[in-house]
Structure 1
Amino acid sequence: MDQRISFVTLAVADIDATRRFYVDGLGWRPELDVPGEVIMFKAGEHLVLSLWDRAHFAEEVGEPTMPSPSAIAPITIAHNLATKEAVDAVLSTARRAGADPVHDAVERDWGGYTGYFGDPDGYRWEIAYNPGDIGQLVLPD
């Protein structure tokens, strides 16, 4: 098996609210948009983020065990950037898009600068500047 990930699929409660957040709020362009079912975005050179209506997800994959509404899902999605200023700009865009919560970026002990926002289903996005080798590995050319 190749060492790579092709799709990340997340079950969402309200596909229309998810579309408004990602498309209208964050300005992402869908590669595939099936109303009431799924919306997919190219998220990297060979990576797709698939946001799938929870009922359709359950039909194929099985019923998701979601944490309580006040709990944080045990996963983060990271978006790495080349500068601290770019991190602040993305967090500002997320705030305008209606992200809740939005945690402003702070300097981390390991040398990076990161903040977080939650999408309509509470999935946490880490917005990061990582000056180390592993951080540079994920930046586009």
Structure 2
Amino acid sequence: MDQRLSFVTIAVPDLAAARAFYVDGLGWHADVEVGDVIMIRVADRVVLSLWEQASFESEVGPVRTGPGLVPVTLAHNVASRSEVDLVLQDARVAGASEVGQGASREWGGYTGYFADPAGIRWEVAFNPGQIGASVLP
């Protein structure tokens, strides 16, 4: 198996709210909108797929419910600390739940978090190291 990731799929309880946030709010372009799924190209060979939860469950299986967070975050890396704050502000304007302000981290970076309408946590990060630079456009 090749070492790569092609799709990140999120089961969302409200597809219209997810579309309003990502497409209308953040201004991302939906490459595919068919029935109960929206696909957004987020990198050269990576797609974010927003899938209505009931349809997701009928194909993949029931999602875990209950208190706490989904044990995963998605990250959007930027080239500077100030860009972290700007992206967090854009997310707030788009309707994101503010989870945390930008903050300096022990490992040398600067990050903040927000939640999309389904509660998925996004990290906005400035990583001054080589691996951080390697994921920037």
Deviation at 1:102, TM superposition (A): 3.5
Would you say the 8 A contact 1:67–1:73 is kept in 2?
no
Residue 128 (1) aligns with residue 125 (2): yes
- Secondary structure of the 1:56 match is helix
* Alignment correspondent of 1:111: 108
Deviation at 1:34, TM superposition (A): 2.1
- Secondary structure of the 2:97 match is coil
Q: Structure 2, unaligned stretches of length 5 or more?
A: none
| Shift in CA distance, 78/67, structure 1 to aligned 2, threshold 3 Å | farther
- Secondary structure of the 1:48 match is strand
CA distance in 2, matches of 1:73, 1:104: 20
Deviation at 1:8, TM superposition (A): 0.5
CA distance in 1, matches of 2:124, 2:81: 10
Deviation at 1:59, TM superposition (A): 1.3
State the TM-score, normalized to the length of structure 2: 0.96
* Alignment correspondent of 2:28: 28
**Number of residue equivalences:** 137
* Alignment correspondent of 1:12: 12
Q: What are the residue-to-residue correspondences of 1:26-65 with 2, within 5 Å?
A: 26-35=26-35, 37-65=36-64
Deviation at 1:103, TM superposition (A): 1.2
Residue 76 (1) aligns with residue 73 (2): yes
Deviation at 1:121, TM superposition (A): 0.8
Give the % identical residues.
Answer: 55
Q: Structure 1, unaligned stretches of length 5 or more?
A: none
CA distance in 1, matches of 2:65, 2:88: 25
CA distance in 1, matches of 2:83, 2:98: 19
State the TM-score, normalized to the length of structure 1: 0.93
CA distance in 1, matches of 2:65, 2:130: 34
